C-alpha cells in the first residue's frame, strides 16, 4: 500500500466522485480508477460503491475502515516529514496534543504562548477526547502529548503532574430541586436520572468514593464531550456527573454546578510514550512545561 494511493483514495472519498477527484489531483480519470481498483485488489475487498444515476461514490464497510486507517497513516507520514524538513537553525514543527475537557488545558495554552514568543514557527494541533481516545492516538504516534484525568492507566507513559486539580460534581438545571443544595451526596445520586462520562475507569472511581455499585444508578445517557451532555441537561433529560468549570454556569445560564460531598478531586497529568523520541519542537515544549510547573 503506497501512501500516494491512500491520498488518492481519501480524495475520492472527500469529493464523492472519481472524476472530481481526478480533476483535483491533476491526473486522468482512467489513471485514478486504475489506482483505486489496484488498491481494492491488493486488499481483496471492495472499497467503493459507484452510483449509477448521479455516479456519486459511497463507501462500503471495508471502505469506511480503510478511510479511518488511511487518515491515520497519512497524518503520521506528514508529521514525520515535517519533523525531518525542519531547518537545523530554526526550531519549527508541529506539536500534537490530546486531552479531555478540563480547565487544566489553560496551563498548556499559557506554556505554548510563552514558547511561541521564542519560537514562533512552532504550530500546535489539539485533539479532544477521553483518556481511551487519547491513549489510542498516543500509542499510534499520532499525538506527542496527552492530558489524562485520573484515574488512568499510566504504565506505558512518562508523565508530568500538572499543578491543578479538577472538582467532580453535578451539572443541573437551575430550576431543579437539587439546585437548592450546596453539595451533592450519594443519596442524591441514587434518586435521579444520571448522564455520565464513558471513560472506562470512571465507574471504579465513583464506586470507591461513594462505596456503592455504580451500575445500580439510574444512568439514562453517556457522553464523551461534556458540552453535548450539557445540552441533554438543559432539555431536562437528567443530571450530568462531570468536572467543574467546563460549562457556562454564570447568571445568564440556565444551568448550575454543585460539588460532591465528600469532596472528590481529579488530578491531571501530561503524558507521553516511554522512550519517546521528540522532534526539536517537542523537546522545547516539554522543557517549557517542566520549567513552568516544576522549575
**What percent of the chain shows pLDDT beyond 90?**
57
**Average pLDDT rounded to a whole number, residues 159-172:** 93
pLDDT number for residue 202? 56
Q: What is the Cβ-side half-sphere exposure of residue 153, based on CA atoms within 13 angstroms?
A: 12
Model confidence over 2-52: pLDDT tens digits?
999 999 999 999 888 888 888 888 899 999 999 999 999 999 999 998 776
178 three-class SS = helix
Question: How does the average pLDDT of the chain come out, rounded?
Answer: 88
Q: Is the dihedral of CA 183, 188, 192, 194 positive or negative?
A: positive
Model confidence over 69-106: pLDDT tens digits?
999 999 899 888 877 766 555 788 899 999 988 888 99
Q: Is the overall model pTM greater than 0.85, yes or no?
A: no
Q: Is the pLDDT of residue 53 over 70?
A: no
216 three-class SS = helix
Report the candidate in 43, 29, 32 with the shortest Cα–Cα distance to residue 9.
Answer: 32
Q: List CB contacts of 172: < 8 A, sequence separation 6 or more.
A: 178, 179, 233, 239, 240, 255, 256, 257, 258
Look at phi and psi of residue 93 and say left if phi exceeds 0, alpha if psi is from -120 to 50, else beta: left
**Average pLDDT rounded to a whole number, residues 187-193:** 92
pLDDT bracket for residue 185 (50, 70, 90) = very high
Model confidence over 98-150: pLDDT tens digits?
998 888 899 999 999 999 998 999 999 999 888 888 999 999 999 999 998 88
Q: Is the pLDDT of residue 180 over 50?
A: yes
Q: Which of 32-41, 176-185, 197-206, 237-246 has the lowest mean pLDDT?
A: 197-206
Q: Is the pLDDT of residue 191 over 80?
A: yes
DSSP run (H or E) holding 188: helix 186-189
pLDDT number for residue 200? 45
Better-predicted residue by pLDDT, 100 or 270: 270
Amino acid at each position: 500500500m503506497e501512501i500516494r494511493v491512500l491520498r488518492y483514495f481519501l480524495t475520492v472519498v472527500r469529493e464523492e466522485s472519481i472524476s472530481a477527484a481526478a480533476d483535483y489531483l491533476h491526473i486522468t480519470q482512467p489513471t485514478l480508477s486504475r489506482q483505486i481498483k489496484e488498491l481494492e485488489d491488493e486488499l481483496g475487498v471492495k472499497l467503493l460503491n459507484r452510483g449509477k444515476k448521479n455516479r456519486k461514490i459511497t463507501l462500503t464497510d471495508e471502505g469506511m475502515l480503510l478511510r479511518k486507517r488511511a487518515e491515520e497513516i497519512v497524518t503520521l507520514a506528514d508529521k514525520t516529514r515535517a519533523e525531518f524538513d525542519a531547518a537545523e537553525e530554526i526550531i519549527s514543527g508541529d506539536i500534537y496534543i490530546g486531552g479531555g475537557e478540563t480547565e487544566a488545558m489553560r496551563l498548556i495554552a499559557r506554556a505554548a504562548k510563552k514558547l511561541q514568543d521564542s519560537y514562533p514557527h512552532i504550530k500546535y494541533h489539539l485533539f479532544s477526547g477521553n483518556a481511551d481516545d487519547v491513549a489510542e492516538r498516543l500509542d499510534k504516534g499520532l499525538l506527542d502529548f496527552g492530558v489524562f484525568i485520573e484515574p488512568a492507566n499510566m504504565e506505558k507513559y512518562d508523565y508530568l503532574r500538572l499543578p491543578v486539580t479538577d472538582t467532580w460534581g453535578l451539572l443541573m438545571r437551575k430550576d431543579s430541586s437539587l439546585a437548592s443544595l450546596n453539595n451533592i451526596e450519594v443519596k442524591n445520586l441514587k434518586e435521579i436520572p444520571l448522564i455520565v462520562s464513558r471513560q472506562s475507569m470512571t465507574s471504579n472511581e465513583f464506586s470507591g468514593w461513594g462505596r456503592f455499585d455504580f451500575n445500580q444508578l439510574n444512568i439514562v445517557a453517556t457522553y464523551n464531550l461534556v458540552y453535548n451532555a450539557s445540552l441533554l441537561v438543559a432539555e431536562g433529560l437528567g443530571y450530568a456527573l462531570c468536572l467543574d468549570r467546563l460549562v457556562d454556569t454564570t447568571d445568564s445560564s440556565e444551568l448550575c454546578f454543585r460539588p460532591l460531598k465528600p469532596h472528590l478531586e481529579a488530578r491531571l497529568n501530561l503524558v507521553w510514550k516511554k522512550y519517546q523520541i521528540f522532534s526539536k519542537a517537542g523537546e522545547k515544549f516539554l522543557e517549557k512545561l517542566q520549567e513552568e510547573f516544576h522549575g
